[in-house]
């Protein structure tokens, strides 16, 4: 057969293929060197830069995976590696890397059955995202007052429980840890789910056990300023297969993650319309390194704070923040409550003059999304549309729900949040730095307060 006849004959009938190869060669969709020149500006370590270079270089000539943790034939994507390290670090069976701490909370709440007509108890001090994620889940947040640890007061939870309550969402505040043992006891007594918000205290522990591993689900933020700080990312951990699958349903668009994605649901509520909260490969390349560093970072912070606290004397007019577990404290802030605002203002001025950076919000502080009464999109109960759920939801109304929010609901938080003096600490302080800071705090407190060996101890 002549070449021309073979070319004309259909490939189906044994003729030559019209397109046997493609000559055109593209360039990686993301230029490696251009990308690295941006990444290098962020001051990442050599190890992190190497991971980023590897992730970007794995881009092929235009057909993906485009830094997505999806349809990849790599033996282990960066996200899968990050999730493996999270499982190993926290000793949990399941871990899901997501786009943010808020996404982690939203997916965890939905997984735990938070939905229309239900309520979740959240702390009066923490961050807006926890309460907001309850609202995203079409449920109603109920604020619970704190104690002198600034975390949810286990003794006040029961008074906030209603027939609509399905979950507790304690927040571990600013490097400190909640009293998880007491919180879990209340939760188990009332058959409530527990979703821990560990965004501010990744690596904190109570009695040697990492926060995030007490409750049904642990949620973390990996935004730039956190202990495990990448760019924008989040993490969910759990030991419960069903909760893991349902959280994946939210993160992976509602079942796309399943080995057989079009199979019928294996159990009621397995399939529902989730969204896309998948972590990107680039974020995961950074977060793998950051998460591996976490124990070292926490140990350095802990050593600094403990070294300072051990040297502080006790004063009648000063109440140190209660530490639910001094050994499990991360310690990037040192906090205490002066008896009055006037005294607090004097101490803050004097400490700053000594070179010890600190602040107190005071009685006329600007609105702040870390305290419940300033979380306006929640407290005003306004949705994106006029009839927005969850407050207007017939299920919520039928079940007797009728919440309102105002300052005064949580008096301890109202008082302590304004009266708290916070001293920021740095993990890289030397022993000498710690000694100087401790000496400076003792000097200032001695000048304005009454030293008393029987006053509340620092740890
Ligand atoms: C306690 C708490 N929860 C949730 C979040 C939300 O995390 P992200 O900013 O990653 O969405 C934050 C962020 O600061 C936080 O502090």
Strand order from edge to edge, sheet including 358-360: 318-320, 333-338, 421-424, 358-360
Q: Which of 106, 120, 126, 129 most suits a substitution to test ligand 1, by most atoms within 8 Å of the C-beta?
A: 129
Is there a single domain that holds both residue 380 and residue 351?
Answer: no
pLDDT of residue 8: 86
Q: Count the Cβ atoms, other than its own, within 10 Å of residue 50.
A: 13
Q: How far is the CA of 222 from the centre of ligand 1 (A)?
A: 8
Closest protein CA for atom 12 of ligand 1: 199
Q: Which of 141, 223, 225 most suits a substitution to test ligand 1, by most atoms within 8 Å of the C-beta?
A: 223
Residue 267, domain member (yes or no): yes
Is there a single domain that holds both residue 298 and residue 358?
Answer: yes
Q: What digits encode the pLDDT tens for the residues 311-321? A: 999 999 999 99
Of the candidates 223, 194, 224, which has an alpha carbon nearest to the alpha carbon of residue 211? 194
Residue 222 CA, closest ligand 1 atom number: 10
Q: What digits encode the pLDDT tens for the residues 179-205? A: 999 999 999 999 999 999 999 999 999
Residue 103 CA, closest ligand 1 atom number: 11
Is there a single domain that holds both residue 244 and residue 390?
Answer: yes
Closest protein CA for atom 7 of ligand 1: 101
Q: How far is the CA of 150 from the centre of ligand 1 (A)?
A: 17
Q: Are 328 and 202 in contact (CB under 8 A)?
A: no
Residue 226 CA, closest ligand 1 atom number: 14
Q: How far is the CA of 1 from the centre of ligand 1 (A)?
A: 71
Is there a single domain that holds both residue 387 and residue 314?
Answer: no
pLDDT of residue 43: 79
Residue 233 CA, closest ligand 1 atom number: 10
Is there a single domain that holds both residue 319 and residue 224?
Answer: no
Q: How far is the CA of 441 from the centre of ligand 1 (A)?
A: 30
Residue 416 has pLDDT above 80, yes or no: yes
Residue 173 CA, closest ligand 1 atom number: 1
Q: How far is the CA of 164 from the centre of ligand 1 (A)?
A: 25
Residue 263, domain member (yes or no): yes
Residue 231, domain member (yes or no): yes
Q: Are 172 and 195 in contact (CB under 8 A)?
A: no
Q: What digits encode the pLDDT tens for the residues 19-74? A: 888 777 656 666 778 778 777 877 788 998 998 888 777 765 555 555 666 666 66
Residue 129 CA, closest ligand 1 atom number: 4
Q: What digits encode the pLDDT tens for the residues 377-401? A: 999 998 899 888 899 899 999 999 9
Q: Which of 102, 169, 170, 220 most suits a substitution to test ligand 1, by most atoms within 8 Å of the C-beta?
A: 102
**Residues 262, 48: Cα–Cα separation, whole Å:** 38
Angle at 405 between CA 403 and CA 408, to 5 degrees: 130
pLDDT of residue 56: 77
Residue 264, domain member (yes or no): yes
pTM over 0.85? The answer is: yes
Q: How far is the CA of 100 from the centre of ligand 1 (A)?
A: 8
Q: How far is the CA of 178 from the centre of ligand 1 (A)?
A: 16
Contacts for 421 with CB less than 8 Å, ≥ 6 apart: 335, 336, 337, 338, 344, 347, 348, 351, 358, 359, 360
Q: How far is the CA of 213 from the centre of ligand 1 (A)?
A: 18
Residue 244 has pLDDT above 70, yes or no: yes
pLDDT of residue 135: 97
Residue 285 pLDDT grade (very low, low, confident, very high; cuts 50, 70, 90): confident
Residue 21, domain member (yes or no): no
Residue 225 CA, closest ligand 1 atom number: 14
The backbone torsions φ and ψ at residue 124, rounded to the nearest 5 degrees and listed phi first, read -70, -25
Which residue ranges have their beta carbon within 6 Å of ligand 1? Answer: 100-102, 126-127, 129-130, 171, 197, 199-200, 221, 223, 234
Is there a single domain that holds both residue 317 and residue 426?
Answer: yes
Q: What is the CATH number of the domain that holds 299?
A: 3.90.1150.10
Residue 139, domain member (yes or no): yes
The backbone torsions φ and ψ at residue 432, rounded to the nearest 5 degrees and listed phi first, read -65, -45
Q: Which of 199, 223, 236, 370 most suits a substitution to test ligand 1, by most atoms within 8 Å of the C-beta?
A: 199
Burial (CB < 10 A; 0-12, 13-18, 19+), residue 381, is: middle
Is there a single domain that holds both residue 308 and residue 337?
Answer: yes
Residue 219 has pLDDT above 80, yes or no: yes
Q: How far is the CA of 105 from the centre of ligand 1 (A)?
A: 9
The backbone torsions φ and ψ at residue 157, rounded to the nearest 5 degrees and listed phi first, read -65, -45
pLDDT of residue 82: 95
Is there a single domain that holds both residue 200 and residue 347?
Answer: no
Contacts for 381 with CB less than 8 Å, ≥ 6 apart: 391, 403, 404, 405
Residue 85 has pLDDT above 90, yes or no: yes
Residue 256, domain member (yes or no): yes
Residue 70, domain member (yes or no): no
Is there a single domain that holds both residue 277 and residue 319?
Answer: no
Residue 234 CA, closest ligand 1 atom number: 10
Q: How far is the CA of 108 from the centre of ligand 1 (A)?
A: 14
Q: How far is the CA of 129 from the centre of ligand 1 (A)?
A: 6
Please give the share of the chain, as a percent, with pLDDT higher than 90. Answer: 76
Q: What is the CATH number of the domain that holds 243?
A: 3.40.640.10
Looking at the 3D structure of the chain, how many domains does it have?
Answer: 2
Closest protein CA for atom 8 of ligand 1: 101
Helix (H) or strand (E) holding 359: strand 358-360
pLDDT of residue 28: 62
Burial (CB < 10 A; 0-12, 13-18, 19+), residue 2, is: exposed
Is there a single domain that holds both residue 310 and residue 425?
Answer: yes
Is there a single domain that holds both residue 201 and residue 93?
Answer: yes
- The domain of 181 spans 78-291+370-403
pLDDT of residue 1: 55
Is there a single domain that holds both residue 107 and residue 237?
Answer: yes
Q: How far is the CA of 231 from the centre of ligand 1 (A)?
A: 13
């Amino acid at each position: 057969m002549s070449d021309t006849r073979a070319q004309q004959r259909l490939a189906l009938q044994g003729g030559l293929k019209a397109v046997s190869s493609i000559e055109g060669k593209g360039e990686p969709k993301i230029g490696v060197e251009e990308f690295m020149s941006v990444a290098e500006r962020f001051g990442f370590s050599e190890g992190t830069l190497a991971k980023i270079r590897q992730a970007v270089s794995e881009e092929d000539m235009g057909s993906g995976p485009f830094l997505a943790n999806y349809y990849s034939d790599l033996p282990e994507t960066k996200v899968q590696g990050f999730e493996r390290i999270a499982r190993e670090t926290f000793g949990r069976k399941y871990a899901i890397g997501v786009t943010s701490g808020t996404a982690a909370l939203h997916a965890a709440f939905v997984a735990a059955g938070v939905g229309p007509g239900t309520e979740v108890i959240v702390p009066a001090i923490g961050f807006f995202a926890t309460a907001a994620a309850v609202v995203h889940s079409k449920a109603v947040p109920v604020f619970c007052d704190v104690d002198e640890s600034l975390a949810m007061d286990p003794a006040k939870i029961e008074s906030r429980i209603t027939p609509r309550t399905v979950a507790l969402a304690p927040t571990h505040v600013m490097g400190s840890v909640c009293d998880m043992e007491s919180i879990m006891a209340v939760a188990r007594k009332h058959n409530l789910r527990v979703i821990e918000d560990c965004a501010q205290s990744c690596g904190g522990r109570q009695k040697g056990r990492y926060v995030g591993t007490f409750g049904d689900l642990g949620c973390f933020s990996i935004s730039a300023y956190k202990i495990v700080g990448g760019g924008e990312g989040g993490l969910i951990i759990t030991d419960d297969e069903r909760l893991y699958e349902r959280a994946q349903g939210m993160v992976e668009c509602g079942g796309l993650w399943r080995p057989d994605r079009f199979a019928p649901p294996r159990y009621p509520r397995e399939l529902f319309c989730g969204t896309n909260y998948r972590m990107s490969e680039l974020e995961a390349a950074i977060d793998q390194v950051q998460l591996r560093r976490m124990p070292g970072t926490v140990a350095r912070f802990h050593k600094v704070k403990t070294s300072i606290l051990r040297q502080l004397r006790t004063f009648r007019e000063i109440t140190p923040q209660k530490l639910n577990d001094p050994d499990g404290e991360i310690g990037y802030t040192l906090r205490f409550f002066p008896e009055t605002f006037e005294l607090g203002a004097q101490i803050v001025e004097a400490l700053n003059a000594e070179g010890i950076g600190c602040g107190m919000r005071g009685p006329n502080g600007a609105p702040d999304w870390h305290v419940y009464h300033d979380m306006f999109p929640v407290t005003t109960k306004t949705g994106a549309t006029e009839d927005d759920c969850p407050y207007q939801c017939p299920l919520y109304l039928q079940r007797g729900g009728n919440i309102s929010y105002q300052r005064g609901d949580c008096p301890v938080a109202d008082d302590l949040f304004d009266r708290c003096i916070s001293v920021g600490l740095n993990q890289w302080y030397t022993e000498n730095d710690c000694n100087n800071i401790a000496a400076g705090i003792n000097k200032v407190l001695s000048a304005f307060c009454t030293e008393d060996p029987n006053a509340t101890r620092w740890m």
